[in-house]
Structure 1
Amino acid sequence: MGELAYRLGYQSEAAFSRTFKRMKGSSPGAARMNAHKDITSRSTGFAEARR
């Protein structure tokens, strides 16, 4: 996440995390975990739909 924060122009990861949480309502880590859960559930759903 440090490189992403730097590329987006933030002075620190903490500054990026605070802004992310304020704008999205959850921390970057929580958003990443939720995205992973969404991907996992979609792939499982697709496999079941093919049967």
Structure 2
Amino acid sequence: MIEKNKYDLTDDELEPFKEGANKQIMSSQADSLIKISRIWADFFPANTSNQPI
């Protein structure tokens, strides 16, 4: 017997929802990384002159 959850959906039927949730989490993590990168860049500007560091 296939085990059902409280919404009576099989794992195969739930898969699109799980994929959507994972994409949302990944997008949120990417947004956070971009924000952190921008803050980091404020403190450590790129060496744009061709001088050695």
Answer 1 or 2: which has greater helix percent. 1
Greater relative contact order (CA < 8 Å, ≥ 6 in sequence): 1
